[in-house]
Amino acid sequence: MSDDQDRIYLDHQATTPVDERVMETMQPYFTETYGNAASNDHLYGVDAHQAVDEARSTIAEALGAKSDEVIFTSGATESDNIAVFGVAERYENEGKHIITCKTEHKAVLDPCKELEERGWEVTYLPVDEHGMIDLGDLRSAIREDTTLVSIMMANNEVGTIAPIQEIGAIAREHGAKFHTDAAQCLGHIPIDVDEMNIDLMSASAHKCYGPKGIGMLYCRRSRPRVDVEPQIHGGGHERGLRSGTLNVPAIVGFGKSVEVGLEEMDKENERFREWTDRMFDHLQEKLGDVKRNGHPEKRLAHNLNVYIPGIESRALIVDLKETAIATGSACTSADVEPSHVITSMYDEQRAHSSVRISVGRANEEEQINEAAQRISDAAEQLRAFAL
């Protein structure tokens, strides 16, 4: 058993710890205000409903949206599924073409693959070496029968932030709905659904210091109104779009995590950018030919994805048990497939030698230097063995 104090958590893009302020806010909703938010005939239910309403308006306000445009789900995976299947099915008679990109999360790619099986056509836009799609490619791909464009706001592996406003404008110009997976962005960078021309947006609480198992789908109600075919039936909760008893404590925690995120993001991003830059400089100094994967400027401040030539990233990660970093997305780390994101940006070989380091609120300044040292030491050792 390792000493807990030796552990350093640098995998905030896989999940984040629950913030103490969030935990405190949630607590009474397990044991005191435990009513069913749909039971509006008694005060237990009314109190729970009111707590949900407050969280909903906090989240809506954070996005520049209206409260009734926020639908609670079990997380971003479910939100992505509702957006992709829900729009495809609802607008089926207007066309069966969808545009997404090669570096999307599997929660968007797998539903798209499923729709291809069912007779839809999907265009997977390529990305450049920074992980960016070309807006010209999007313009040439979009057609009369395109009903949905789904492009993530920021990539979970390399942190590249997409030109969302421009993508949304192109989609709208052609009458297609625009969905964006913002799981890595809510509570981290400013979002405005009107300014950014967003019709549907997925997010998740556990990526921004809230609890796991709760997320949301923003679904535009006006200018233009967007409808989705519900994917879960039974009871008509969430305006009939997502039935099921609401997880009140988790929703309350989600609201608080977004509120705290808005307060902290500016100064946190400044600190995180300094940390990730410092780690990169350290690795480059110690290991030489290390390269950064992703966009040099248009990226999430807390993300550092590095290519370390000559090392097998899986071996490095196994060596660094007490220092939590990732090969790519946590969802694909069970199999040995190289990251589809790095492969799309560069090649398979680079994907096999790249690691993701994501700093966050759980970290202290000293841990950054310590972790950088551990990573460079382990990489040097692996390289020495390989000789």
Ligand X SMILES: *Cc1c(COP(=O)(O)O)cnc(C)c1O
Per the document, the length of the chain is 387
Binding ligand X (rule: CB under 6 A), the pick from 25, 33, 156, 353 is: 156
CB of 131 to ligand X, least distance (A): 13
HSE-CB at 77 with a 13 A cutoff on CA atoms is 7
Binding ligand X (rule: CB under 6 A), the pick from 58, 197, 204, 305 is: 204
The closest of 209, 213, 191, 210 to 201, measured between CA atoms, is 191
Q: Is 77 in the site for ligand X (CB under 6 A)?
A: yes
Rounded Cα–Cα distance for residues 340 and 300 (Å): 19
Contact 355, 326 (CB under 8 A): yes
Q: Is 107 in the site for ligand X (CB under 6 A)?
A: yes
- Determine if the peptide bond prior to 163 is cis (ω within 30°): no
Q: Is 207 in the site for ligand X (CB under 6 A)?
A: yes
Rounded Cα–Cα distance for residues 24 and 32 (Å): 13
Q: Which two tokens stand for residue 294?
A: 């992703």
User: What mask of x and - would describe binding to ligand X in positions 217 to 246, judged by CB under 6 A?
Assistant: ------------------------------
Binding ligand X (rule: CB under 6 A), the pick from 181, 199, 259, 268 is: 181
Nearer to ligand X, 287 or 357 (CB): 357
Q: Is 180 in the site for ligand X (CB under 6 A)?
A: no
Nearer to ligand X, 75 or 187 (CB): 75
Instruction: Map tokens 């929660």 to a residue.
Output: 107
Question: What is the SS3 assignment for 299?
Answer: strand
Nearer to ligand X, 187 or 215 (CB): 215
CB of 206 to ligand X, least distance (A): 6
Lay out the sheet containing 303-307: strands in order across. 291-292, 303-307, 354-358
Amino acid letter, residue 151: I
In degrees rounded to 5, what are phi and psi of residue 353?
-120, 30
CB of 99 to ligand X, least distance (A): 17
Residue in 112, 185, 219, 331 annotated catalytic: 331
3-state helix, strand and coil shares in percent for the chain, rounded to the nearest 5: 45, 15, 40
| DSSP for residue 126 | -
Q: Is 327 in the site for ligand X (CB under 6 A)?
A: no
User: What mask of x and - would describe binding to ligand X in positions 18 to 57, judged by CB under 6 A?
Assistant: ----------------------------------------
Rounded Cα–Cα distance for residues 336 and 127 (Å): 23
Rounded Cα–Cα distance for residues 127 and 130 (Å): 7
User: What mask of x and - would describe binding to ligand X in positions 134 to 153, judged by CB under 6 A?
Assistant: ------------------x-
Nearer to ligand X, 15 or 36 (CB): 15
Nearer to ligand X, 204 or 247 (CB): 204
Phi-psi region of 201 (alpha: psi -120 to 50; beta: other; left: phi over 0): beta
The stretch near ligand X (CB under 6 A) out of 47-55, 160-168, 176-184, 234-242 is: 176-184
Told to judge if 101 belongs to the known catalytic residues of this protein, a careful annotator would answer no
Please report the sign of the dihedral spanned by the C-alpha atoms of residue 325, residue 263, residue 187, residue 160: negative
What pairs with residue 178 in β-bridges? 149
Binding ligand X (rule: CB under 6 A), the pick from 12, 56, 96, 105 is: 105
Number of residues that bind ligand X (CB under 6 A): 13
Binding ligand X (rule: CB under 6 A), the pick from 48, 58, 75, 197 is: 75
CB of 11 to ligand X, least distance (A): 12
Active site residues: 331
> Which residues in this chain contact ligand X in the complex, by CB under 6 A?
75-77, 105, 107, 152, 156, 181, 183-184, 204, 207, 215
